[in-house]
Amino acid sequence: MMRIIPAIDIIDGKCVRLTKGDYSTQKTYNENPLEVAKEFEANGIKYLHLVDLDGAKSNHVINHKVLNDIASKTSLNIDFGGGIKSDEDVQIAFENGAKQITGGSIAILDPKLFNEWLSNYGPDKIILGADSNNRKIATHGWQKESKVDVVEFITDFEIKGVQLVICTDISKDGMLQGPSVELYKEILSKTGVSLIASGGITTIDDLHILQQIGCEGAIIGKAIYEGNISLKELREFIKNQNN
């Protein structure tokens, strides 16, 4: 069974999408993220990927009130990321209703601190964000690129206890041209992590492919907002998995 995880990205408290992580491509879809979250919930969706894009740029959590609003007024299981760089940020995220947090840049910039979170909160609470461009891990809200290969990055952290990984191919993000299936196959063949695919998912067929190769979850953003995948289709996909 593969989890369906819609994404809500937040700038200035609004639901937006970027293309390839470029802030100049911002498109606002709804000024009230709670409305969007409630619509997801009404269609049988149980999970939400909430990203604080202001936080990612500023290196500390900013949109925690949006997190609190959604967490307190829906029953969605929220994983929260963007700008989580300190113990205080982690505390803010969990206190405001996040079930899990995603750390990406911090795992490169301060692996010792990330590993402490993994140890303190447990591998079911801490997700490794493996965001890559041309296979190289990106940091700082995707504004900078490291020299670390994405598969090596995931392998190294799996040894340290990571079980859940969100892998985004930035070149695919927001392009509506399909996900990085070959990259995901490689990760799944070389590691034992539970892999959540993110970036480029365009049609319901993409979800079937990701399910077939063994992804634990799939994050869907622009395809929902642009109408390429309807909530009805997602509802049917979830229902068919449960039968």
Annotation says 12 is catalytic: no
Q: What angle do CA 133, 136, 221 make, to 5 degrees?
A: 35
d(C-alpha 40, C-alpha 46), whole Å? 8
- Tokens for 214, please give them: 């063994």
Annotation says 131 is catalytic: yes
Q: Which of these is catalytic: 9, 79, 89, 169?
A: 9
The CB-side HSE value for 33 (13 A sphere, CA atoms) comes to 26
Q: Which of these is catalytic: 54, 69, 79, 131?
A: 131
DSSP 8-state secondary structure symbol assigned to residue 8: E
User: What letter represents residue 2's amino acid?
Assistant: M
* Phi, psi angles (nearest 5°) of residue 43: -105, 25
Residues 199/18, Cβ–Cβ less than 8 Å: no
- CB-neighbour burial class of residue 112 (10 A; exposed 0-12, middle 13-18, buried 19+): exposed
Give the residue numbers annotated as catalytic, written as ranges: 9, 131
